[in-house]
Structure 1
Amino acid sequence: MEEQSPTSPASSPLDRRAELSEFLRTRRARLLPGDVGLPDFGRHRRVPGLRREELAQLAGVSVAYYTRLEQGNGRNVSAEVLDAIARALRLTDAEHAHLMHLAKGKQHKKKGAARPQQVRPALGQLLEAMDGVPAYIGGRRSDILAWNGMAAAVFGDWSELPVAERNWARLVFLRPEYRDLFVEWEQKAIDIVCLLRMDAGCFPDDTRLSALVGELSVKSEEFRRLWATHDVKEKSHGLKRLHHPLVGELSLSYESFRMPGDPDQSLVTYHAEPGSASAQALRLLASWGTDATRVASAPDLG
């Protein structure tokens, strides 16, 4: 299966220098002097979080050097300096990787954004063989590339949507029915924005991603707010609570596996605790087959 061109017009690439600058500013602003063992002068401080000179001191670099980096000039910064700054900012592994991508963006990353997203036939067969397990293949920009019948029964039949709309960010921020589907909608929205931020660091020249961000920023106040935080994280497992239109409440654990042959794609599976009401509900959906998919898709999830 191969992705098709979106219906929205192309946009200019995201500004990598601006992204680097804002990311460092927001990470610095969240740290207080007391968090890193520095004296706090309280009301005499004119900026939130650490000052540039305090961060530079912690990282062991000059203020001028750090200032240039925070202004978006990271091309000639060594990996060792970036590591030191990451430690000073107490970045997570995902944030550290994001900083490296923003500061030291590589040409092969840029080329990757233009490569069509194709799901190997064998993976499609694997999805269908996962009987009773909702599963799908996710790609760049939170695109939904392939899925099985159980995923359609739980989340709605994405085959009824135009290809460009088979995208988690569009579904969650622009379709009210998905706000009803996810019990913790805000957390689902945060997770999606964090993943889009990571893609923006890896693929700064992805005009489709830029167009998606631009559209969502115009149409969704929640997206604008979350995008402005510059938060990044990668979640490989967790729990999702859903309110399904047919079977009611579902508590499903999810696992995400990156594909060895294409790390831009992930296999995401959902399962319920054995013997639970959610497990019984999944079996019920599986027994209804395409009937469950139709009900899940219309009128609420279509």
Structure 2
Amino acid sequence: MPESTDYLCGGLVMAGIFALLPIIYRINSAVGSAVVDMLHPSSFRKALHSTNIICNILFGSSRWEKIIVVTAAMERFAMAAFFLFLLAVAERTFKQRFLYAKLFSHLTSSRRARNSDLPHFRLNKVRNIKTWLSVRSYLKKRGPQRSVDCIVSAAFIITLCLVSFLCMELLKESQYLHQSLYNLEVLCWCLVLGVFLLRFMTLGSKINKKYRNLSVLITEQINLYLQMEQKPDKKEELMLANNVLKLAADLLKELESPFKISGLSANPYLYNLTKVVVLSALSGVLSEMLGFKLKLHKIKIR
């Protein structure tokens, strides 16, 4: 698989932005006026004085203030880079899983197996079906499982908390809402984590779609029926393989579940609690923005 560092580089860039965000936020009207004075055609002493004003506002006036601000920025960069690095590793693991699922779907197709330089076999014998199921189970369990699931679940729960907090802040009728630093930082974190979660959900759905492709088993059953007509002397062996294919298809339907994050689709109580909290907040925000009452949630426990 070709190495791709797009998400890793993007995470490091965003970590740098998160580290410099409090420093950049200190640029207020005083800094703006200082910049105007610096650009104004005057003496060099006035420009140097304006530069000192900007540095004092950004990093503090005393030596200890500068040390604290720089140390805090380095700590924020290290923590954000570490967390985004974990998300980038999880994204690469999902990409590897998708590659395994994609190549696994090529095993029973002669053309795709030849193009991917893979072995090809038909599911017309019991031992071939057993091999196909064993390879499928091995590939689904290959690679880190619990660690990546913990990273994705933690990112989902953090995003859920941040979105809920942002919705509650939007419900406050305050003219200084957009001027607060923590609201801006929460919004940036929501955007970054939302990109990663969208990537996880997209890759997870594609992986499940590849592994849940029951059309392969149905196609093999049709081929078995055609072979029964052509080779009546092997009818018993082909019927046995056909019955095993039917049982395998029924088993996959029962065992497989849709892609889920943090077990939300498996636990109806947790799913409904999350849906009520998030959608209730969104309903309140949209109702305030649109001017009429809007309901987005409906509790249903199966």
TM-score (norm 1): 0.23
State the structure with more CA Rg. 2
More helix by share: 2
